[in-house]
Amino acid sequence: MAESENIVAETAEKIFADLADAQTINRDKKGEWKAPLWKALTEAGLPLAWVPEDCGGSGASLAEGFGVLSAAGRFAVAVPLAETMLAGWLLAQAKVSSPDGEMTVVPASPKDRITVNSDGSLSGKARGVPFAKAAKHIAVLASGNGSLQIALVDTAKCRIEAGIGLGGDHSDTVTLDKVRPVALKPAPKGFDQTRLMLMGGVARSLQIAGALESMLEISVRYSNERVAFEKKISKFQAVQHNLARLAGESAAALAAATSAADAIANAGAFNDEVFLEAAAAKIRCSEAAEKGGGIAHQVHGAIGFTIEHVLHRYSLRALAWRDDFGSESYWAVELGKLVANRGADELWPLVASR
Amino acid sequence: MTAALRFDPIRLPPECEQLRKEVRAFLAEEIAAGTFDPHKPNREDTDVPEFSRKVGAKGWLGMTWPKKYGGHERSFLERYVVTEEMRVANAPTRRFFVADRQSGPVLLKYAPENIKMDILPRICRGEVCFAIGMSEPNSGSDLFAAKTRATKTDGGYLINGTKIWTSSAHIADYMIAIFRTSPPTKENRRHGLTQFLVKMKQPGIEVNPIGQITGQYEFNEVVFTDHFVPDDHVLGEVDGAWKQATSELAYERSGPERFLETYYVLTELVRAVGNNPDTRSAEGIGRLVAQLHTMRRMSVSVAGMLQAGKEPVVEASIVKDIGTVWEQALPHRVRDLAAFVEETATNRETLENQLSFAIKTAPKLTIQGGTTEVLRGIIARGLGLR
């Protein structure tokens, strides 16, 4: 879906513009902007966008929700909107109703496992869980007795070791020690942790692409304002070529992320083609976060290195988002194995499948 | 910023998949018949007239052009599928590629009716080869410094001067070239150049081959000495070629040929590594495939936007910038990853031969058809920096 046709994403964009302006947030040292923003998002039904109405949500389509995440990336939104959307989506897979309030997802890394004990309680440790400290509930994917279960857990029942990620947002370690879930239902047939990780990875890819769009915009604007050697720095060819490369990285991230989102939103089955789209998006967007963010800083010079300037809100979050739901190195290994396993002559048919 | 970049997630329509099957079946037959070897991109015989005619007979040349000129009125996306399948198979497309991609569309837009009726159907049949006459010994990227003169004479023009780096000029039937018809003005240094259709293999045209570092002889020096071109071979506005150049760039710069030129080494690497790669190989291959997939999706997206009547000039320039830088680096990355491939890999020799050729090919990829520096200038202009 083109974003201009996406009313849900437009609603999100308007709320962010009104209540999550980067400059205003950056000056607010007490975090007073968070409550009104979350309230407005909740009133618009956005945190539970991917939850059907009969499970307590607003029943938006996957494509509409992906549009919201792109917008969230453009504003480098630092409230658990993406996480709550993902949690609601995960719960809805097993028809578990979503509660009100902030949520997050466990596990948030492909290597962590949560197990269902024989008494129906949950145990395990998950690292790098975004916004666990702020979440009232956690949607958990757990395995036990050879099947996968989806659970809703009260965060207060878990042990949270707070951590702060590169972007300044919480990235916590969550330990479940025989935690009794609020609800526990079997995951649908065919669902697995890879699927959850790839969905999370595509969410992060869209956010990174959005952040890069903003980094490009503010870098271009800054280069047209800043004067050095008696002319605007945008007139220096070296600066122009740096910004052209930033545009390229931003474009690559945008194309990879929106293509993957489109593939997931329209997938009949979760096959190799969808895997390629989602894994490639996380890999390429993460690479773009490094290259593109680096250029944005180079163009800004020292001012972009200050806490007062808004650039770090985008650049550091984009870098932090690389680590969630499997890093680019992890997905590259997985994608490489898939390609090798299919064999050399099946590589092109895979790439040319859409 | 003037406008946000757009890359709509285009999905190829169902008719493309049927077409793709037909193209693959055709190429498999040609390979089986010995027309070309897909594992040997470094062969000498890149010009295969018989293959060219067969592709024309299949209806895969001039695919998007009007039927009255021999075209097939199909979509850009269908043409895209044919182009990428030919490229991945290392098919010998030299004879028809430039005519189909670039010269035909220029003629469609600017040539008089009699010339269109004469030449376009022959391009569609795969019978004629085109060259592009842009660079000169003292004007490469700086197109508007071209000095080769077209002097008005009775019923036409006399051409004097030299074009250089002209790919395929030694086999070409025609060239579309820019010549100087007036001096540039103080206000507009781009003024004074005119686009012409030149019939090759005529008196007053001398083609001298130039050897390349790959060992091939694909490009040439073309010397014009009082070569006569009739009036009806002027394409578009006299002195106004600069107005005509830009809108075609989106077609020229965003195609699959802009990132697939060295693709074959990646296929051979996957073959050499086998089904159970170690972590290093898996990660390396995974990253390259992710980058390739992303560029292809960008490129398909531009084709879709062209089909929808948009002019994504900046997006197309980005595809060529990123794509050519990638295909240039690819053989070196594959070489890194191949360093630990088992001695016993069955395709070791093929891979080594291909790598040697691809590494020698690599330097030209960011020069031909608009250098990286020129592209980044265009992107910068699109961003509102100049």
Shortest alpha-carbon distance between residue B44 and chain A (Å): 25
Q: Tell me the mean pLDDT in the region B126-150.
A: 93
List the domain boundaries for chain B.
14-128, 132-240, 246-382
Confidence of residue B45 (pLDDT cuts 50, 70, 90): low
- Counts of helices then strands in chain A (DSSP H, E): 11, 10
- Mean pLDDT, chain A, rounded, equals 96
Fold of the domain spanning B14-128: Butyryl-Coa Dehydrogenase, subunit A; domain 1 (1.10.540)
Count the neighbouring beta carbons within 10 Å of the beta carbon of residue A257. 36
Whether B12 and chain A come into contact, CB under 8 Å, resolves to: yes
Least confident of A209-218, A247-256, A295-304, B237-246: B237-246
Q: Which two tokens stand for residue B362?
A: 């690599």
What is the distance in angstroms between the Cα of A350 and the nearest Cα belonging to chain B?
Answer: 9
The pLDDT tens digits of the residues spanning A125-176 come to 999 999 999 999 999 999 987 899 999 999 999 999 999 999 999 999 999 9
Interface test with A, best of B11, B18, B86, B294 (most A CBs within 10 A): B294
Q: Does the beta-carbon distance from B385 to A243 stay under 8 Å?
A: yes
Closest C-alpha among B326, B324, B321, B319 to residue B302: B319
Instruction: Go through A155-175 and write b for each residue having 16 or more CB atoms within 10 A of its CB, e for each that does not.
Output: bebbebeeeebbbebbbbbbe
Q: What is the pLDDT of residue A91?
A: 98
**Region B285-300 average pLDDT:** 98
Nearest CA-CA partner of A324 in A232, A206, A240, A228: A206
Q: Report the predicted TM-score, pTM, of the whole model to 2 decimal places.
A: 0.96
**B279 contacts in A (CB within 8 Å)?**
333
Distance between CA atoms of A177 and A160, rounded to whole angstroms? 11
Residue B222 near chain A (CB below 8 Å): no
B4 near A CB under 8 A = yes
Asked if B297 lies within 8 A of A259 by C-beta distance, the reply is yes
Give the tens place of pLDDT for each residue, A36-67: 999 999 999 999 999 999 999 999 999 999 99
Identify all chain B residues contacting A328, using CB atoms and an 8 Å cutoff.
287
**Residue in B282, B300, B379 closest to A244 by CB:** B379
Q: What is the mean pLDDT of chain B?
A: 94
Read off the pLDDT of each residue in A207-230 and give the average, rounded to a whole number: 97
Q: Is the pLDDT of residue B43 over 90?
A: no
Interchain contact B315–A (C-beta under 8 A):
yes
Residues near A151 by beta carbon (within 8 Å), at least 6 away in sequence: A96, A116, A122, A139, A140, A141, A142, A181, A182, A183, A184, A185
Structure tokens at B155: 């019923």
Mean pLDDT of B300-316: 90
**DSSP class of A103:** E
Q: Does B296 touch chain A (CB under 8 A)?
A: yes
CB of B80 within 8 Å of any CB in chain A?
no
**What's the gap in Å between the CA of B370 and the closest CA on chain A?**
15
Q: Check residue A102 and give its pLDDT.
A: 98
Neighbouring CB atoms inside 10 A of A18's CB total 11
Q: Which of A351, A243, A241, A331 is nearest to A285 (CA)?
A: A331
User: In chain B, what residues touch A333 (CB-CB under 8 Å)?
Assistant: 279, 282-283, 286
> B319: closest CA among B372, B265, B248?
B372
Q: What 8-state DSSP symbol labels residue A234?
A: G
Q: Do B302 and B315 contact (CB within 8 A), yes or no?
A: yes
Specify the pLDDT at position B313. Answer: 85
Contact A332 B271 (CB under 8 A): no
Is the pLDDT confidence value at B377 over 60?
yes
Please write down the long-range contacts of B33-41, taking CB distance under 8 Å and 24 or more positions apart: B35/B92, B36/B90, B36/B91, B36/B92, B37/B90, B38/B89, B38/B90, B38/B91, B38/B264, B39/B90, B39/B264, B39/B268, B39/B350, B39/B354, B40/B90, B40/B353, B41/B90, B41/B264, B41/B354, B41/B357, B41/B358
- Which whole number is the average pLDDT over A290-303? 98
Q: What are B129's two structure tokens?
A: 């080869």
What average pLDDT score do residues B282-295 get?
98
Q: Do B286 and A223 touch (CB under 8 A)?
A: no
What mean pLDDT is predicted for residues B157-162? 98
pLDDT-based confidence at B1, cuts 50/70/90? very low
The H-or-E segment that residue A327 falls in is none
Phi/psi of residue B178, nearest 5 degrees: -110, 135
Burial class of B238 by CB neighbour count within 10 A (0 to 12, 13 to 18, 19+): middle
- Which of A222, A224, A241 to mutate: most B Cβ within 10 Å? A241
Q: List residues bridging with B194 in a β-sheet.
A: B179
- Extract the tokens encoding B303: 């084709």
Supply the pLDDT for residue B242: 86
DSSP symbols for B39-71:
T-TT-S----HHHHHHHHHTT-SSTTS-GGGT-
Place of tokens 């994504």: B312
- Indicate whether A2 pLDDT > 70: no
Of A95-104, B235-244, B261-270, the least confident: B235-244
Of all residues in chain A, the one with the smallest CA distance to B322 is: A248
**Length of chain A as a residue count:** 354
For A280, nearest residue in chain B (alpha carbons): B290
Q: How confident is the model at residue B42 (pLDDT cuts 50, 70, 90)?
A: confident
- A340, A331, A276, A341: which is closest to B270 by C-alpha? A340
Residues in chain B: 386
DSSP H helical ranges for A44-113 = 62-74, 81-93
- CATH classification of B246-382, choosing from 3.40.1160.10, 1.20.140.10, 3.40.50.10800, 1.10.10.10? 1.20.140.10
Host H or E run for residue B200: none
The pLDDT, as a whole number, for residue B247 is 61
pLDDT of residue B253: 79
**Which positions in chain B touch A344 (Cβ < 8 Å)?**
267-268, 270-271
Say how far apart CA B3 and CA B84 lie, in whole Å. Answer: 30
Would you state the CATH architecture of domain B132-240? Answer: Beta Barrel (2.40)
With bands split at pLDDT 50, 70 and 90, how would you rate the model's confidence at A243?
Answer: very high
Tokens of A187: 């995951």
- H/E stretch holding A229 reads none
Q: What is the pLDDT of residues A268-287, one digit of tens each?
A: 788 999 999 999 999 999 99
Residue-range domains of chain A with CATH: 1-77 (no CATH), 103-189 (2.40.110.10), 193-351 (1.20.140.10)
Report the residue from A251, A283, A328 with minimal CB separation from B5: A251
Q: Do B285 and A235 make contact, defined as CB atoms within 8 angstroms? A: no
Q: Residue A354 and residue B298: Cβ atoms within 8 Å? A: no
Q: CB A336 to CB B281 under 8 A?
A: yes
In chain A, % helix, strand, coil (3-state, to 5) comes to 55, 15, 30
Query: Does A332 sit within 8 Å of B293, measured CB to CB?
Result: no
> Binning pLDDT at 50, 70 and 90, where does residue B261 land?
very high
With 80 as the cut, is the pLDDT of residue A119 above it? yes
Chain centroid offset of residue A194 CA: 15
CB pairs below 8 Å between A and B: how many?
184
Residue B21 touches partner A, C-beta closer than 8 Å: no
Q: How far apart are CA B77 and CA A38, in angstroms?
A: 43
Q: pLDDT at residue B2 above 50?
A: no
**Tens digit of each residue's pLDDT (9 = 90 or more) over B98-111:** 999 999 999 999 99
Chain A nearest CA to B342, separation (Å)? 15
Give the closest-approach CA distance of B216 to chain A in angstroms.
27
Q: What is the dihedral of CA B291, B297, B298, B299, to 10 degrees?
A: 110
Among A252, A263, A347, beta carbon nearest to B294: A252
User: Quick one: tokens of B332?
Assistant: 């070196």
Share of chain B above pLDDT 70, in %: 97
